[in-house]
Amino acid sequence: MDGAIFVGKGEREQNLALRYANRHGLIAGATGTGKTVTLQILAEGFSKAGVPVFAADIKGDLSGLAEPGEAKPFLLERASKIGLADYAFQPSPVVFWDLFGEAGHPIRTSVTEIGPVLLSHLLELNDVQEGVMNIAFKVADEFEGENGEKGLPLLDLKDLRAMLAFLSEHADDFAAHYGNVSKASVAAIQRALLVLENQGADKFLGEPALALSDFMRTDPYGRGQINILAADKLSESPRLYATFLLWLLSELFEELPEVGDPEKPKLVFFFDEAHLLFNDAPKPLLEKVTQVVRLIRSKGVGVFFVTQNPQDIPDMVGSQLGNRVQHALRAFTPKEQRAVAVAAETFRANPAFKTEDVITELAVGEALTSFLGEKGVPGIVERTLIRPPASRIGPVTPEERQRVLRASPLLGRYDQAVDRDSAFERLRDRAAKTAEAPAAPAAKAPAAKPASPAEAPAASSGGGIFDMIFGSTGRRQSVGEAFTKSVVRTVGSTLGREIIRGVLGGILKSK
């Protein structure tokens, strides 16, 4: 079928129409029922249609997309059953990514682009601490140096720590304009940042920042690039995983133009272990996630959530998911039986069988499917045998992964971290100059604006949070024209920096 991905066959062929792929979807089922293979064949189908794909790989199995499959008897038998005459084995164009830079190209963004609200959620700050975080970002935006330079770029965790230390040391100067800044609140935030760093967030927050266009590439044959995020280690830090996914969605929403309902999506996301995105999320955040998922459709982006139980997805998000693949669920306890009943109710009934009964009878590789059809109407649920993949079922070896990385079109673009002049260096140099200057009475900062470097009280040269931050770390070097884009994005006007933090953060400020 032209303009569609062949998913499998039951009483009739089941196809996912490309024009409705941006209406989002759900792949659900118990462990070991075939969810990963379903995700795999959909990723292959989108890639073949020229649509780039992003998939979070929790268990490592999706890496097999980079290698051709093997002619195993059960695959050939399944292909024969569903009439897949042209079944052949081939790899897909894969690029590996990893927030920690160990199993793929690193993904980085700046503290500024994450923004204070999403960062506060990541750190699990209370309302008072979140207020202090917002003040720190505001002061960094409005800071004016001795030589007229504006702003303190917040690029990595060292920059943010330095900014918080500066805010704590000069809290009295900012109190009249922004309110009290408690040293206890700053200390609590600093401790939370230490925990975050121990989880590896320091590798995510920095430069060079990811260019989203590098997710949206095609190979010389017109196949969409499949971006696989190694998320096995990342999933051990659920808040970091969830924050990364939310940031990615918000950045796409901000940067991509409106396209309405295109003939095929511009990009498709698969979020494995989707419950990690929603666990313990406050209601205002869920409302904004729902809003972004709904609105990003008009940007031509499809989002597919992959999880064990459909109830892992909040109702306000689940109602946005038009394409559904339900693998088997177990129903041994009353709670599990209720979950099966709820899952059955999400499908358009088929008079040929009782959906609730079939969900517990499905074999491995079978699923109940319902895809949007003519005019976006959900199709009648069908019991479907999922087609076998063309690529390998199972993970690649470490040697195969390294071979794919060496052949990557993005080799060398993100692999080396860049540490340029930013808030850490500027505040450290300011503290050093103040300590060397002759003692003089400190001028009080105007109430209407933060203190300038010339007006602020002298920082102590021994002891205190500020001196601990600026120990003996060496000065970092500028990176030149190769990173002009990062400079502009981070050191531009106050308005520009606030906009670039992302639509999600901007929306959440009003909660």
CATH assignment of the domain containing 60: 3.40.50.300
Task: State whether 290 and 399 are in the same domain.
Answer: yes
Look at residues 349, 385, 289, 337 and name the one whose alpha carbon lies nearest to residue 78.
Answer: 385
Q: Quick one: 9 and 137 in the same domain?
A: no
Are both 438 and 388 inside the same structural domain?
no
Please tell me whether residue 150 adopts helix, strand or coil conformation: strand
Examine residue 113 and state whether it is found in any structural domain, yes or no: no
pLDDT at 282: 65
pLDDT in tens, 435-458: 877 655 544 444 444 444 434 333
Q: Is the pLDDT of residue 421 over 60?
A: yes
pLDDT above 90 covers what percent of the chain? 61
- 34 lies in the same domain as 142: no
- Supply the pLDDT for residue 487: 37
Chain centre distance of CA 136: 24
Tens digit of each residue's pLDDT (9 = 90 or more) over 201-218: 889 999 999 999 999 999
Q: Is 219's pLDDT higher than 60?
A: yes
* Helical spans, DSSP H, in 61-142: 73-81, 111-114, 116-123, 127-142
Query: What is the span of the domain harbouring residue 430?
Result: 126-202+418-508
Q: Are residues 210 and 195 in the same domain?
A: no
Q: Are residues 343 and 400 in the same domain?
A: yes
Q: Which of 406, 431, 450 is the last residue of a domain?
A: 406
Q: What is the mean pLDDT of residues 454-466?
A: 39
Q: Residue 382: inside a domain, yes or no?
A: yes
Domain-located, residue 343: yes
CB 162 within 8 A of CB 470: yes
Q: Is residue 120 part of a domain?
A: no
In total, how many domains does the chain have?
2
Query: What does the pLDDT read at residue 275?
Result: 82
Convert the pLDDT of each residue in 68-107 to its tens digit: 999 999 999 999 999 998 899 999 999 999 999 999 999 9
Residue 121 lies in a domain: no
Residue 511 has which token pair?
């909660």
In this structure, are 230 and 317 located in the same domain?
A: yes
In a domain, 119, yes or no: no
Q: What angle do CA 346, 347, 352 make, to 5 degrees?
A: 145
Name the 3-class secondary structure at 418: strand
Cα distance between residue 235 and residue 243, in whole Å: 11
Sheet containing strand 13-17, strands side by side:
13-17, 4-9, 382-386, 366-370, 323-326, 25-28, 301-307, 267-271, 53-57, 226-230, 94-98, 105-106
Return d(Cα 347, Cα 345) in angstroms, integer.
Answer: 5
Residues 95 and 212 in one domain: yes
Q: What does the pLDDT read at residue 98?
A: 95
The mean pLDDT value of the chain amounts to 85
Q: Please count the other Cβ atoms lying within 10 Å of the Cβ belonging to residue 380.
A: 15
Interval 288-329: pLDDT, tens:
778 888 889 999 999 999 999 898 898 888 989 999 999 999
Q: Helix 127-142 and helix 116-123: axis angle, to 10°? A: 140
Question: What is the DSSP secondary structure assignment for residue 199, as one 8-state letter?
Answer: T
Q: Are residues 353 and 424 in the same domain?
A: no
Same domain, 307 and 430: no
The CA R_g of the chain, rounded to the nearest whole Å, is: 26
**For residue 117, is it within any domain?**
no
Check whether residue 215 and residue 287 sit in a common domain.
Answer: yes
pTM over 0.95: no
Same domain, yes or no: 245 and 187: no
Three-state secondary structure string covering 19-53: HHHHHCEEEECCCCCCHHHHHHHHHHHHHHCCCCE
Please state, in angstroms and as integers, the Cα–Cα distance from residue 255 to each residue in 32, 206, 258, 450, following that order. Answer: 37, 20, 10, 32
Least confident span in 279-293, 328-342, 395-409: 279-293
**Residue 17: strand pairing partners:** 4
- Among 349, 384, 406, give the residue marking a domain's end: 406
pLDDT given at position 284: 64
In a domain, 303, yes or no: yes
Domain boundary among 354, 371, 406: 406
